[in-house]
Structure 1
Amino acid sequence: MKKKILLLGSTGSIGKSSLNIIRNYKSKLKIVALSTNKNISLIVKQSKEFKVKNLIINDFESYKKILNLGLNKKIKIFNNIDDFLKINKIKFDVTIVGISGFDGLDPTLKVIPYSKNLSSANKESIICGWKFINNKLKKYKTNFIPLDSEHFSIWSLIKNSNHKMISKIYLTASGGPFLNKSKSKIKNAKVSDVLKHPNWNMGQKISVDSATLMNKLFELIEASKIFNLPINKFDVIIHPKSYVHALVNFKNGLSKILIHDTQMEIPIFNSIFDKTTESYNKNKDINFKNLNGVNFIKPSNLIFPLFKLVKRYKRKDSFYEIILVTVNDYFVTKFLNGNINFQKMQIKMLEKLKDPYISKYYNKYPKKINDIYMIVDKIKNYLYEKE
């Protein structure tokens, strides 16, 4: 029997990588539904190739447009996840969440009761709403597998271990495009310079976060939440080749590392086919050139000033991490729009996070899911008012 797949965010990078896997295993996998926000031209192509009969178009104007395209009447079009789930009350074998930003939180919570396994790469939902996600995962006995390469690697290394025996977990970072560049090169960096990631082909926003190392700060917070371990159990080490994705040091004197090529398809494949003997069709031998002279480097606060913000995280599900994501989104958008330079973006971000109006929320916490959206709106409005 084919595994039933629900793929949310099929037109983004995670969605496309997921489809690359599914394309090679059509005899074993069946996509029940795809979703997108606005990219109706691509999702229509995807639906035709994979013979998908349910499409979720979240943007209302795009939803109206797709209704007028004259698609096959067997294809059902929905404007949101709620309408889709009202009609399709089946259990999906795997739900993949590839939606970016805060838009991923609500659908993540809503699909859990209908999912045997939930695989997510949505940083914002995990960082800001993990308490609510985890409660639902437990309630509905849904298995969770993180999709980010670092978190998937950690999950793989420690899933059968006694967590009390973990001494330290290291997440690796490539160092981004400015690792060995001069201060003047970093100071005067253009958007095109920042987006030139040396190893990964990623979206604009995550490429900026990689250049500032903010993505690793987010990943540390994610890891602390997902694996229920204190933040001081984790650290970041720069590994320019991006071949080692995680290292775990155990108290019994043993250490483990996990390596794989720089392809998101590998963790996606293994999340779909967890606990099976299915072979990855693009499997390669170990790349010993990447392992010889691994060259691990401790990140410098001079090159990555935002990374020192990790010291402010107290792991208590406060508004701090939600505000951190919101402020970062605001300034990254300004940078990508050409309204602030790369260096000033980081300086202003650090300044704003000390603003009394913003910092007064750091010791408060969300009691219900709407509190998350409330604080995001408050901080966004405040930032735009101060422009």
Structure 2
Amino acid sequence: MKKKVAILGSTGSIGQSLLKILYKNKSDYEVKLLSAQKNYKLLFRQANIFKVKNLIITDKKYYNIAKSKKNKSINIYNNFEKIEKIFPKKIDYVMSSIVGIDGLRPTIKIIKYTKTIAIANKESIICAWNLIKDKLAKYNTKFIPVDSEHYSIWHALNNNIDSQNVKKIYLTASGGPLLNIPKKNFNKMKLNYIVKHPNWSMGKKISVDSSNLMNKVFEVIEAKKLFNVNYDQIDILIHPDSYIHAIIYFKNKMISIIAHDTTMDIPIANTLDRNKKNIYLFKNNSFNLNLKKLNNLTLKKVNQKKFPLTKILEILPEHNSLFETVLVSANDKLVDLYLNKKIKYIEISNILFDLINSKEMKKFKKMYPKKISDIYNVHNIVQLKINSIFS
């Protein structure tokens, strides 16, 4: 029997990578739902290839355009409110890869309708892990992290999130395109250079986050929440080759080093079915250790003068709070302003520090996210605050 699959954010890089894997295993999987924000043309092509009958397009304008052009055999929805109509009973697997805070509500909504959920939407985990965890327990849904670093840790911890034997976790960062550029020259670098990651093929927003290590700050917050450790148990190491993804130092003095080739196909395919022998990745016979990389490992501490955003980790509360939403929302808005050439590159970090250190935002460190609306309310407050700065 075919496994039933849904992909939230199927037109993004994670979604497209998963669909390529599914395409080479079409006899084993049936895609029940695809979603996108605006890119209805690509969504239609994907639906045609996989014979998908249910699509969600969340942008009202593009939803209306798609409705006027759709095939009669396809159901198109504008939001996730009709999800119970699409899934009368639990499906096997959902990939949640919608980018940004917009992915939070769909992620939490769909947990009820799937046996397994793989979450690539880091904003959901950072802002609402306590809410997600409650839903997972309530509906007996299995969770798997998708980021290469977090999947590596999860894999090393024997496919669970029990970290009681962990002394220290090290996440690696390539250092991005600015690793060997003097900080004084950051503002001189063109946007095309900033978003061209040396190792990974990613969207523009996450590429900017990677260039100043904000993405790694987010990954540390994710790891802290997912594996129930303290911030002082997690560190970042610069590793330009991106071959090692995580290092775990256990309390019994053993060390696990998790490495794999620089492709998201590996964690994505393994979240889909890590025990399947004929899955796309394992059809490739060219599996050899990269001895050149292993024999020339370069691992070093982060230069905080060059990448000051990593200092944010020193001011974060150990408990779940709405301050994490402040951080995510402010960064999202500032990166968007940079991508639209409204602010300079260095202003992303400068304005971000000013904002999160303000009395108005620091108060959220003492506030706990009890429901989804709490998170969206803070998100709106932060967005309005930044808009007022530039109005």
- Counterpart of 1:320, as a letter, is F
Does residue 1:365 correspond to 2:364, yes or no?
A: no
Once the 2 structures are TM-superposed, how far is the Cα of residue 357 of structure 1 from its aligned partner? 1.6
Partner of 1:377: 380
The match for 1:319 among 315, 319, 322 is: 322
Contact 1:189/1:341, CA 8 A, preserved across alignment: no
TM-score (norm 1): 0.96
Contact 1:92/1:115, CA 8 A, preserved across alignment: yes
Partner of 1:211: 211
Distance 1:139 1:331 in 2: 36
Partner of 2:181: 181
Contact 1:56/1:84, CA 8 A, preserved across alignment: no
Does residue 1:130 correspond to 2:129, yes or no?
A: yes
Once the 2 structures are TM-superposed, how far is the Cα of residue 330 of structure 1 from its aligned partner? 1.6
The match for 1:341 among 341, 344, 360 is: 344
- 5+ long unaligned stretches in structure 1: none
Distance 1:259 1:291 in 2: 9
- Counterpart of 1:368, as a letter, is K
Partner of 1:290: 293
- 1:160–1:375 CA distance, 2 compared to 1 (3 A): closer
Structure 1 SS opposite 2:11:
coil
Distance 1:78 1:352 in 2: 37
Partner of 1:85: 84
Structure 2 SS opposite 1:164:
coil
- 1:160–1:371 CA distance, 2 compared to 1 (3 A): closer
- 5+ long unaligned stretches in structure 2: none
Contact 1:57/1:80, CA 8 A, preserved across alignment: yes
Identical residues among aligned pairs (%): 43
Q: For residues 279-330 of structure 1, what are the alpha-carbon distances to aligned partners after superposition, in whole Å with 9 as ceiling and x for unaligned?
A: 5233621211121211101111111011100011122111111101111112
Partner of 2:231: 231
The match for 1:356 among 350, 356, 359 is: 359
Does residue 1:302 correspond to 2:301, yes or no?
A: no
Contact 2:92/2:114, CA 8 A, preserved across alignment: yes
Structure 1 SS opposite 2:283:
coil
Contact 2:83/2:110, CA 8 A, preserved across alignment: no
Distance 1:164 1:323 in 2: 29
Structure 1 SS opposite 2:27:
coil
Partner of 1:115: 114
Partner of 1:329: 332
Once the 2 structures are TM-superposed, how far is the Cα of residue 85 of structure 1 from its aligned partner? 2.5
Could you tell which deviates more after superposition, 364-373 or 115-124? 364-373
Structure 2 SS opposite 1:247:
strand
Structure 2 SS opposite 1:82:
coil
Once the 2 structures are TM-superposed, how far is the Cα of residue 87 of structure 1 from its aligned partner? 4.1
- Counterpart of 1:165, as a letter, is N
TM-score (norm 2): 0.95
- Counterpart of 1:154, as a letter, is I
Distance 1:75 1:352 in 2: 45
Distance 2:206 2:218 in 1: 11
Partner of 2:247: 247
Structure 2 SS opposite 1:350:
helix
Structure 2 SS opposite 1:55:
strand
Once the 2 structures are TM-superposed, how far is the Cα of residue 35 of structure 1 from its aligned partner? 0.6
- 1:385–1:81 CA distance, 2 compared to 1 (3 A): same
Distance 2:220 2:357 in 1: 21
Structure 2 SS opposite 1:344:
helix
- 1:2–1:87 CA distance, 2 compared to 1 (3 A): closer
Structure 2 SS opposite 1:334:
helix
Distance 1:337 1:229 in 2: 37
